Chain A
Amino acid sequence: MVALKNKLALILIIAAIGIWLSAVTLSGVGLAAVPIILILLVDQGVPFVESGAWKFSVSRRVTQPKVVTGERVLVELTVTNEGRDVERMVLEDQLPSGVKVTRGSRYLICALKRGARATLRYEVSLLDPGDVHFGECLVRVQSLFGLTEQRLELVAPSTVRIYPRLLSRKVLTSRAKALSFSGTSPSRFKGGRLEFMNTRRHVYGDPLRDINWKASARLGKTLVNEWHAERGLDCVMIVDLLDQDLPKVGKWSARTDVIACAYELSHALIGSGNRVGLLVLGAAPVKLQPGFGSKHLRVLLDRLVTAQEGSVWSARNVEGFLETFFRKQYRFRGGALFFVTANPGVDVLEAVRSLALKGFSCHTILVNTLEQESVALSELRVAGGASLSLGTRVARAEIEWFESRFEKYSKVYEWTEDSGFVELGGL
C-alpha cells in the first residue's frame, strides 16, 4: 500500500493556505503553491497511470558462519529489482539483538532499475556466544522526492554461530593439573604422552606414532615408546544459566562469562584425558553424555553456545537429571560434578549439599563477574561512585557467604576472565 509522507501533507497545507490567503487578500502570497505543485507533478508523474508492481528478491551472505566472540563478520545483503524501475529506494536491514555495527551502515539508498541489483555491506561485531539469526529486511520504495512511500518486508535468513574465545593462561601449563583432577576410568591417552617410561619391541597393533625411529635405526629393530598410563575422570559439568542466577545489567549479561568458563574448564578436562559430560540448567535441559576427545569437545561447545537462559529447569532437578540421563555416574557415584555458576542461589547450594552427602565428588566454580557488572552499571549511569562501591562490597560479601557454605560440601574455585581458575578452598 502506498503511504503519503508527512512532508507531502505539510507542503500541501502550505500551498492550500497560500492560495486561500491569495484569494482573501488579492495578493501573490499563494504563489508558493506553484513550485510545490510542480514538485508534486514531477515527483508523481502522470496521475492514474500504473506501470506495474514492485517486486524484489533479497539474498544474504555472511563471510563466516562460525566465529569467536569479538570477531568481526561482514554481512552482504543483495537486493534485486524484479519489478518496475525504482526511482528511490531505502534498503534497511533489521539487526538481531546483541549485534553491533562496527563499520558501514545498515542502510542503502539508491535508484534501482528493473533487473538491476544493489548490495548493502556492513561489518558487525558479535559479543555473546550463541546463534545469531539474521532475517528480515525492509525495502522502502519512495518517489524521487520522497513524498510517497511503499514498505515491503522481505526475508533473507542467515545464521552465525558465536563461540567463546578460549583464553590462554601464561602461568599455568595445564589448568586441569592446577585443579589436580585424576580419576579411575582409563583415559583416552592410555599409555598416554605425559611421562615417558621405556622403549620395547614393536608388536602388531602399536600405533605408528609411538615408534621411536631414532632408536630403531640405531639398534636395527623396530622399537616403540612406552608411557605412563593416565587415568581419566568422568566429569559432568552442570552449567547454571538460570535467569535468577545470571547477573544482567542493560544489554550486558554474565552468560558470556559463564559459557567462557565452562568452555575453558571442559577444554582443560578433556585435554587431560578426562571424559566430560554436560548438563545446562535454563530454558531447556541441555545434556551430553561424558565423552573424550576434540570431536566431543566441539559437540559440547555447540551445546553450550546454543543453550538458552531461562527458569524452567532449575537446580532442584539436578539429581533427577543425573539419575535419568547419567545413570552410570549416578549409580556408582563415579567421577566428579562441576557446578559452574555466576551468582549462586540457595537452590544450587542445596543441590551441591544433597549430592555431596550422597557420595558425589562435587566442585563449585564461581564465575566472578563483579568487575564487568560494575562497568556495565557505570556505563548505564545506574550507579557510580560511593553507591557502586557499596554495591560491590555487598555483592562480594554475598559471594563470600556462599563460598563458605559451598566449601563444606565441595571444592570451590573462583574463575575470572583475567586470571582463570583460583582455588578458594573446600574439601
Chain B
Amino acid sequence: MTLARRGIAALLYVTAGVAAVLDPSSVGLGLAAGCVILLTIGYRFKGDFTSVASGWLLYLPLATIFAPALGPFWSYLASGTYLAIITERLSLENQLSLPLEDPEGVDAEGKRLAGELSEYHLRRLVTVVFLVVAISGLSLAASVVFSAVTVLILASVLLFIIVGMYAMRAAARGTRPVG
C-alpha cells in the first residue's frame, strides 16, 4: 500500500514535470512549481487538503497539453477526470498509510481489511470514470443535434442544481466543514 502511495505521488510529480516542460508559460511553470511544493507537503504530513490542492493546480497546464490531441473543449474534461481520480486515490493512500506505516507490525487482518477497502474504492473510481465517459458520449451525440454552447449551458445548469441540492441537504442536517 505504501508503495502505491509512493507510486501515485511519483505519477503526480512526473505530471507536474511534463506540464512544466510542455507548457513553458510563466503561469504553467508557476502552477507546476506550486503543485510540487504542495505535493511534497501533503506527502510528508499525509494531508488530504494539500494533496488534493496540489493535483488540481495542474488542471489548466494539463488541459493545455491535452488540447492538441483532444481539442480545446474535451481536453478540460480529460484533465479534470485524470486529476480527480489521481488526487482521490492519493488521498485514500495517505490515510491507508497510517495503519500500514509499520509493515512488520501490521497483522494479517488489518492488512486484509485495508486491502479490501482499497479494492472497493478502486471499483468506485472506475464507476466514476465510466460515468464520465458515458456522459461525454451522450454530450457528443447531443452536440450533433445542438450547438456545443447549448450543451455547455445545459451541463452548467445541471451541475448548479446538483450542488444546490447537496448544499440544502448539508444545511438541513446542521453540518459544518471540518479539517
A and B, one complex? yes
Q: Interface of A with B (CB < 8 Å)?
A: 1-12, 14-16, 18-19, 22-23, 26-44, 47-48, 87-88, 90, 102-105, 107-111, 118-123, 144-146, 148-149
B21 within 8 A of A: no
- B84 CB, min distance to chain A CBs, angstroms: 4
- Add 9 more A-B contacts to A29-B60, A32-B59, A34-B132 (CB < 8 A): A4-B177, A5-B48, A10-B49, A11-B56, A30-B156, A34-B155, A40-B162, A103-B105, A146-B92
Is the CB–CB distance between A104 and B107 below 8 Å? yes
Is the CB–CB distance between B98 and A6 below 8 Å? no
Interface centre among A41, A47, A145 (most CB of B within 10 A): A145
Partner of B88, one of A16, A33, A145: A145
Among residues 135 to 170 in chain B, which have CB atoms less than 8 Å away from a CB atom of chain A? Answer: 135, 149, 152-153, 155-156, 159-160, 162-163, 165-166, 169-170
CA distance A22 to B149 in the complex (A): 10
For B, the interface residue count at a CB cutoff of 8 angstroms equals: 68
Interface centre among B104, B124, B132, B178 (most CB of A within 10 A): B178
CA distance A27 to B114 in the complex (A): 41
Q: A6 with B178: in contact, given A30-B152, A108-B113, A109-B98 (CB under 8 Å)?
A: yes
Is the CB–CB distance between B114 and A109 below 8 Å? yes
List 9 A-B pairs, Cβ < 8 Å: A14-B56, A28-B75, A33-B80, A34-B77, A37-B159, A48-B169, A88-B121, A105-B102, A145-B92
B128 within 8 A of A: yes
Find chain A residues with CB under 8 A from B74 CB. 28, 31
B7 within 8 A of A: no
CA distance A10 to B132 in the complex (A): 20
Find chain B residues with CB under 8 A from A149 CB. 178
Count of CB-CB pairs between chains A and B under 8 Å: 195
- B34 CB, min distance to chain A CBs, angstroms: 14
Q: A28 with B163: in contact, given A6-B178, A14-B56 (CB under 8 Å)?
A: no
Partner of B77, one of A11, A28, A122: A28
Find chain A residues with CB under 8 A from B9 CB. none
Is the CB–CB distance between A26 and B149 below 8 Å? yes
Is the CB–CB distance between B124 and A145 below 8 Å? yes
Partner of A5, one of B63, B85, B166, B178: B178
Contact with A along B33-49 (1 / 0, CB 8 A): 00000000000000011
Find chain A residues with CB under 8 A from B30 CB. none
Interface centre among A18, A36, A119 (most CB of B within 10 A): A36
CA distance A122 to B116 in the complex (A): 20
Is the CB–CB distance between A2 and B173 below 8 Å? yes
CA distance A111 to B124 in the complex (A): 13
- B147 CB, min distance to chain A CBs, angstroms: 11
Interface centre among A27, A29, A41 (most CB of B within 10 A): A29
Q: A47 with B165: in contact, given A5-B177, A28-B77, A29-B76 (CB under 8 Å)?
A: yes
B68 within 8 A of A: no
Partner of B121, one of A23, A26, A144: A144
Is the CB–CB distance between B77 and A1 below 8 Å? no
Partner of A118, one of B79, B113, B149: B113
Contact with A along B12-24 (1 / 0, CB 8 A): 0000000000000
Partner of B48, one of A6, A23, A33: A6
Is the CB–CB distance between B178 and A4 below 8 Å? yes
Partner of B99, one of A8, A18, A29, A105: A105
Is the CB–CB distance between A118 and B156 below 8 Å? no
Find chain A residues with CB under 8 A from B95 CB. 90, 109, 146
Find chain A residues with CB under 8 A from B127 CB. 42
Is the CB–CB distance between B120 and A109 below 8 Å? no
Find chain B residues with CB under 8 A from A3 CB. 175-178
In the complex formed, the residue of A with least CB distance to B160 is A19
- List of 7 A-B pairs having minimum Cβ-Cβ separation, nearest first: A32-B80, A103-B105, A110-B113, A104-B105, A35-B84, A28-B73, A31-B76
Find chain B residues with CB under 8 A from A23 CB. 153, 156
In the complex formed, the residue of A with least CB distance to B132 is A35
Is the CB–CB distance between B72 and A27 below 8 Å? yes
Is the CB–CB distance between A7 and B49 below 8 Å? yes
CA distance A291 to B167 in the complex (A): 72
